[in-house]
Structure 1
Amino acid sequence: MDINGARVLVAGATGVLGGALTAELAGRGARPALAGRDPARLAEAARAYPGAPTFLFDAYDPASCARVVQGAADALGGPDAVVTAFGSVAFGRAAQVGDEIAEHLMAVNVLAPAAFFRAALALMAPGSLIAAFTGVVAEHPQAGMADYSASKAALSAWLAAARREARPAGIRVLDIRPGHLDTGFADRPVAGTAPPMPAGGDPRRVVTAVADAMAADAELLRTAPDGTPVVEQRAR
């Protein structure tokens, strides 16, 4: 897709990754719409993009996610891309993480993004794109993060199935699987404490690669062992 002039909704634009991606896309000429859950942070993020539409959503309310997509379509004249860059993490042994935490992770990390994309796919024209940050745990589940890994793997599976449905319509589905990044995300778990982790990668490097992948109509972005982002044109 041609990013210059593209109408892009970024859900999670108030976060580190979502904010960096919004800046990267806007720097390439995209017309962003910003969505987040905190009114003050959303207003602060929007100051960098005068005139950009903003929307509040609650990841526990899938209907609010769908309303954001429709609102962005009305404001921009239709979405060319919808990207989700939000989520929750929890740590702890599989036998110790409670059902309530597991349900929370599934609601925020799977059902909410799916609600955004379900609404988007119903509106999108050929050449459009949906994209989500799943992470390396989607393919390499980690001990002490069973429920978080499962939620990201579930989202990746949803994207894989939706991709097969969307290809004939000319709509791309991009699965973004970076390794551990220096965003502070692991320091804000809904439960547990993060185990020792290696130094996180540079999120700016990743969002540059994400924008490149979007421009190339790629289907997968992963991280090589040396931390280099790798864009794959077609997901396996």
Structure 2
Amino acid sequence: MNTQPATRPAFQDRHILVTGAASGIGAAVARQLLAQGARVSAVDLDETGLQRLHAQAPHRAASSRLEDASGHLWTARLDVRDSAQVEQVVAKAQAALGPLDGLASVAGILEMGEVVDLDDAQWQHCFDVNATGVFHVCRAVARRLRERRAGAIVTVSSNAAATPRAGMAAYAASKAAVTQFSRCLGLELAPYGIRVNIVSPGSTDTAMQQAMWAQGSSRAAVIQGDPSRWRLGIPLDKIATPEEIAAAVLFLLSDQASHITLHDLRVDGGATLDQG
């Protein structure tokens, strides 16, 4: 007879806000959190993707409308570039599912092009979403976590934040800003018992990556690397799945990482030789 006590799900009844939750890594984070007992507030600009997440979620109720709490999941449209909207949505999330215990800041966009060809709008768009948007969301959540003197924040950056990539200056610079911002935030929140960490993925099989392939690259080319562009291949010989990146996010949010803060966890199959 098995006398071992039942294992408590890792995130049982913890409330985590996930940005960029409509697809890719963000959706994978939301699904894995729900599977481990969390209450999840999933936000994104893509309402169709959020409705799909809502329909697939466990513990769902009959309603699939945005901003309806359905069991352990609450969804809402959010433009992270709008600081007032961020504050409103975070407040609504807490009203729907209770005080926040953590944040997975995943929302991000890609603008490609060599510096001499980038226009002002591309550069600004990258920073508005990838850097300023992260600031808006982290600030709103950190204010609430600080009041409770507990919690964890994980921001999703990129291995491009530390390794130069031709044709990706706007993206890489915006992600470098995210990485250093997160470390500074972690220093400020450490006295309150709040941890802040970074996950830096490499090439991952998402819509963003597939858009790059549509511009002349390919899965095989990414794995093999391109010496003419000063880009190494991937030693593990595969592209990451969103679920693999999400697992790293969950680890840093969890109690298993209770003595880890300010850490940048690179998840890229060895593509940058773990240097940066």
Shorter-chain TM-score range: 0.7 to 0.9
1: CA distance between counterparts of 2:173 and 2:165? 10
1:164 alignment partner in structure 2 = 187
Unaligned runs of 5+ in 2: 1-9, 61-69, 224-237
Q: Which runs of 5+ in 1 are unaligned?
A: 231-235
Provide the rounded CA distance (Å) in 2 between the counterparts of 1:208 and 1:87: 18
Q: Normalised by the size of structure 1, how large is the TM-score?
A: 0.88
Q: Which structure is higher in RCO with an 8 Å CA cutoff and minimum separation 6?
A: 1
Query: Counterpart of 1:222?
Result: 266
The TM-score, its normalising length taken from structure 2, stands at 0.76
Letter matched to residue 241 of structure 2: D
> Which entry has the higher C-alpha Rg, 1 or 2?
2
**SS of residue matched to 2:25:** helix
Worse-matched range after superposition: 193-202 or 146-155:
193-202
Distance 2:175 2:93 in 1: 26
- 1:8-19 map, 5 Å: 8-19=16-27
Contact 2:203 2:268 in 1 (8 A): no
Q: Select between 39-48 and 196-205 the one with higher mean Cα deviation.
A: 196-205
Aligned with 1:90 (options 111, 124, 143): 111
Q: Specify the code of the residue in structure 1 equivalent to 2:47.
A: P
Note the alpha carbon deviations across 1:172-231, whole angstroms, 9 max, x for none. Answer: 112111111111313347xx946552252122122122212221233332126547xx9x
1:194–1:153 CA distance, 2 compared to 1 (3 A): farther
SS at match of 2:149: coil
In structure 2, the partner of 1:41 is: 49
Give the letter aligned to residue 14 of structure 2: A
The DSSP-based 3-state class of the residue aligned with 1:123 is helix
Deviation at residue 78 of structure 1 after TM alignment: 0.9
Aligned residues: 226
> In structure 2, how many angstroms separate the alpha carbons of the residues matched to 1:194 and 1:29?
41
Deviates more, 1:15-24 or 1:199-208: 199-208
| 1:106 aligned partner, one-letter code | F
Decide whether aligned partners of structure 1 residues 202 and 162 sit closer, same or farther in structure 2, where only a CA change above 3 A counts: same
1:57-103 CA-partner distances (Å, limit 9, x unpaired): 11332221222211112222211011121211021111111111000
Q: Which residue of 2 aligns with 1:233?
A: none
> In the alignment, what sits opposite 1:75?
96
Partners in 1 of 2:125 and 2:168 — Cα distance?
A: 14
Conserved in 2, the CA contact under 8 Å of 1:5 and 1:29? yes
Q: State the 4+ residue runs in structure 1 displaced beyond 3 angstroms.
A: 192-196, 224-227
DSSP-derived class of the 1:150 partner: helix
Q: Contact (CA 8 Å) 1:17, 1:85: kept in 2 or not?
A: yes
Q: What secondary structure does 2:144 align onto? A: coil
**Equivalent pair of 1:62/1:111 in contact (CA under 8 Å):** no
1:206 aligned residue: 245
SS at structure 1 position matched to 2:222 = coil
Percentage identity across aligned positions?
27
Matched, 1:109 2:153: no
Aligned equivalent of 1:59, options 69, 76, 80: 80
